[in-house]
Structure formats: structure tokens, C-alpha cells
Amino acid sequence: MAKKEKNIKKNKKRVIFPLGAKFSFFVALLLVTIMVAITAFLYNWMGQALEKEVKERGIAIAKNIANNAADPLIKNDDLPLAILTKEAVQTPLKFDKSINLNIDILNNILNIIKQGFTTSKQTQNIKNEGIYEAIIVRKDGTIASANNVRIIGEKYTPPAGVKKLSENEDTLVQDYTKGGQQYFDIAVAIGTIINNNKYRVGEVHLTISRSIILKVVMEAAIKIGLIIFISLILGILTSILLVNFLVRPIKYLVDGVKAIGEGNYDVQIKLKTNDELGLLTEIFNDTAKSLKEKELIKGAFSKYISSEVMEQIINDPSKLSLHGKRLKATVLFTDIRGFTSMSEKLEPEQVVSIINDYLTIQTDKIIKHNGFLDKFVGDCVMAVFGIPVPKEDDTIRAVRAAIDIRESVKKLNSIRERMKQLTVGIGIGLNTGEVVCGNMGSPQKMDYTVIGDNVNLASRLEANAPANTIYVSESTYLETKDKFIYKELEPIFVKGKKEAIKIYEPIEEKT
């Protein structure tokens, strides 16, 4: 007893994490993920776009120098070469190590915030600003001209990690690092044409710093990050307020679910709001009512119907009337011809075995075509198409099932004949019309079945049908004549009818 009380106290002390806190946490996590993803995407995208633009601009400048430097280079005219290299480097780049993203990032962020959003440089402003060095090299490798005049006349040595421009290459762009800074080396061959032959007379080398790209990209990324961060804070605050407002009605739903879990299906929640919670409350109340109806059906109905029919009724209890209902249905009767006299000559085990073989075939076909297997009466089968839930093709499926039974019995008889076993014939009758269906019987024994004159007529047709023959009434024929090939037979008189009944035999389904 003490142990039980201890467990109860333990359950009462269970820590519950508020829904608002969980929701806010996931909102924050989602927004952070989005913030990081967007920032990373934009950083990479802008970096690639700016890098491409800078390289293209550098190549264009280098090619322009190469096109104008050929003649002065051949003539050793230094003045035009000096002008070309000087104009290529419009603004000498002042290196700022804080531009490197790996160094002093916090200062970068603070500086960008101070500058404001209106002073950031746009992509189109990055032109010659990033060109650090312009060099014209003769074919023998000496520097003919450079913006840094102190290196003119020296032997040109490519930066570490940069390979020389080969004879087969006109343009070559390479990345390299020097002094902790990243650069592009753009090399363009200088050529001239003499007597229709192309000769290389030198090279142009431009050194472009990547720092300007990193600076612009970082500015944009930080600003976007700040905007998303502010959105994150606002989103968290909004989610907390919203969840606190929504959680209150959920308590009523929790109490209702607990009541249903304890078997109380009479619970109804009185909460009306014009939102999803109001809709959820309505659905909950409908579900409780539906569960109550289904429990009643299972308790009273599962004793005498198949699981398949039970599933149909459970899915839509409103269409089921246990107290009686008139509806249109097609009734099918079958009976084994002459089996009563044969059974007198057989052992009981043989009788049961033969009946079960033929009843199994008929049952399978009726279920296959979605019929309701009403009952077995000895070697007679009664099935109904149209209950518990009527469908438009009930009559068609009934005739189709009858033909299927007839053909299957023929196949079974053929097999039994080859095995030297007893064979039987089956007569089948079908009629379509209004019947009364419902829960019929006494408190001790009840059946869900159909009654009425149309049921009796189906039974009379089966009684008159010879072995392996199907008798179909005129009402069934009229509803299915477009689907099946029929043979009209001579009208017959049946018990309970003053006039002869028109009958038809279905041969096969039309293709």
C-alpha cells in the first residue's frame, strides 16, 4: 500500500514542460537555422558573383593593356607602357587586416552597425579599386613597365603557388595567398602579327586583392543577419504570447480525452470559438458521439455479421437501421439439387465435407462481389446485395456473383468427376425489389436480415431453377440487360402469385 502511494506521489510530481516553452524553443531553433542558412547562402552566392565580376573586369583590363602594349613593347617605348600600368591601378589599395573574416569579426560588426545601412558599397562600385599591381613583362622575362617603378628592369618572378603562362595559353587566372591576404593573378599574353604569323612578345600580369570582395560580402551578410536576429526575437515573443492564449482551451480537451480513456463516451466539451480550436472541439465532440455509437453497434451487432460487414457499418453507422428500414435490394438464393436424397446414402462425414466444399465456393463468390451473406439453411444459401449500405451497382454485382457461382461449381464438379467423387448441381434464383431490413428475432437470438414479398419471389425462382441454372426475375433483368447477355425463358407460375412470372437466364457478361 505504501509503495502504491509512493508511485502516486511520484506521478503527481512529474515535471511538465509547458507547451509555450516548447513551441518558443522550436520557433527559435527554426529561425536560427533559417538565419544561418540564409546568411551562409547569401555569403557564398554574393562572394561567387563578386569574384566572377572582379575576375571578368580584371581580364578585360589586362586584355586592353595587352592590345595596346604590343607596339610600344617591340619599339621599347616606355612612356605608353608606363601610362598603361599606371591607369590600370586607379586607387592603390590600403590593406586593412580587419577585412579578413578570420580576424576581429566583432569589430567588423560594430563598424558596420555604426556606418548604417545607407553607406554600404554596392557591387557595381567594385571596379579597379581592388587592383594592387599591374606589370608588363617582356618575352625574356624582364619587367618592362609596372605601377611600382622600383621593380622595372628586374626579372619577373611569379608569386609562390602561381605557375607561368604557357605558350598554349592566352589567359590564365590563378588564386594565391601572400602575407595572410588572398589575391588573383591575371596573366594575359601580349602578341603581335607579322607576315600573317602570330608572335608572343610579352605578358601582362594584374594582381587583384580579394579583400574588397570579402568586405562587401561581409557587410551584406552581417546586415542580413541583424535583420533576421531581430525577426527571431520578435518571433519568439509573439509565439510565447500566442501559445499562452491557445493553451488555455487545450486543458478542456485534455480533460475530455482523459474521460474517453476511462470509457466515458458521454463527455462533451462546451467551447465555441471561430478558429482551429473551435473546429477541434467540434471534431472531439463528434468523435466521442461516434465512439459511443460504435461501441453500441459492436456490443449488439458483432454477434451475427461478418467482420467485413462490421467494418462497413462502423465506418458509417448513420446508414444502418436496426429497427427496420425499407430499401431496394437484390436477393440471391441457391440450393444444392437432390442432395437430401443423396445424403441418406452417405456417411455423416462425407455429407459435411461435400456441403462445405460447395458452400465455401458460394461464400467466396458472394464476398468477392461485396454481397451480404445473410444465412445458411442446410444446403441453401441466402445472400443480399444492397444491405447494409446500398450501392448503385448492387444488382449488377448480384448477377455477376450468380454467374461466378455457376461457373465455379461446374469447375469443381469437373475436378470431382476426374477424382471419381460425387458431384451436385446448384439452382440459383435472383429478384430485385423493395425489402424490409432490420434486426429481427428475440432478445435471446436475433438476425440482421431482410423480409418481404420480393424475398419470397427470389426463393421461389431458386426452387424452380434446374441444376446449374440461374433464374432471374424481370425486375433484375431490366436493370442488368445492358451488362449481360440473357436468354428469355418460358414464364412460370410460383406459389403466392396469380399470374405467370417472366424469367430470364443470364448467359455471360457482355464484353
Where the chain has pLDDT below 50, the residues are 1-4, 6, 8-10, 93, 96-103, 117-126, 303-305
Q: At residue 293, what is the residue type?
A: E
Note the pLDDT of residue 346: 86
Render pLDDT for 377-420 as a digit per residue (tens, 0 to 9). 888 999 999 987 788 999 999 999 999 999 999 999 999 999 98
The model's pLDDT over 72-86, given as tens digits with 9 standing for 90+, comes to 988 889 898 888 888
Looking at residue 385, its pLDDT comes to 94
> Distance between CA atoms of 411 and 54, rounded to whole angstroms?
85
- Give the dihedral sign, CA 217/218/220/221: positive
Same fold for the pair 19-230 and 319-509:
no
What integer pLDDT is reported at residue 205 of this predicted model?
93
Interior/surface letters 296-322, b for 16+ CB within 10 angstroms, e for the rest: ebeeebeeebeeebbebbbeebeebeb
Helix (H) or strand (E) holding 60: helix 19-75
Is the pTM here over 0.85, yes or no? no
Q: Looking at residue 118, what is its pLDDT?
A: 47
**Chain mean pLDDT for the chain:** 81
Assigned CATH for 319-509:
3.30.70.1230
Could you write out the DSSP letters of every residue in 124-172?
GG-SGGGEEEEEEEETTSBEEEESSGGGTTSBP-PPTT-PPPPTT-SEE
> What class is the 19-230 domain?
alpha beta
* DSSP state for residue 274 in the 8-state scheme: S
| Nearest-angstrom CA–CA distance, 380 and 333 | 7
Distance of alpha carbon 41 from alpha carbon 49, whole angstroms: 12
Q: What pLDDT shows up at residue 317?
A: 62
- The rounded distance, in Å, linking the Cα atoms of 363 and 124 is 82
Question: What would the DSSP string read from start to end of 438-499?
Answer: EEEE-SSSEEEEEESHHHHHHHHHHHHSPTTEEEEEHHHHHHHTTTEEEEE---B--TT-SS
* CB 428 within 8 Å of CB 334: yes
Angle, helix 211-261 to helix 276-301, in steps of 10 degrees: 40
- Which residues have C-beta within 8 Å of that of residue 100, sequence separation ≥ 6? 180, 181, 211, 214
**CB-CB contact of 94 with 209 (8 Å):** no
Q: How many CB atoms lie within 10 A of CB 261?
A: 8
Strand partners, 142: 155
Segments making up each domain of the chain, as ranges: 19-230, 319-509
- Residue at 51: amino acid letter: E
Structural contact between residues 453 and 474, judged by C-beta atoms closer than 8 angstroms? no
What pLDDT score does 113 carry?
53
Residue 32, CA distances (Å) to 76, 107, 229, 235, 340 in order: 62, 22, 8, 11, 83
Q: What are phi and psi of 420, to 5 degrees?
A: 60, 40
Which pLDDT score is estimated for 194? 80
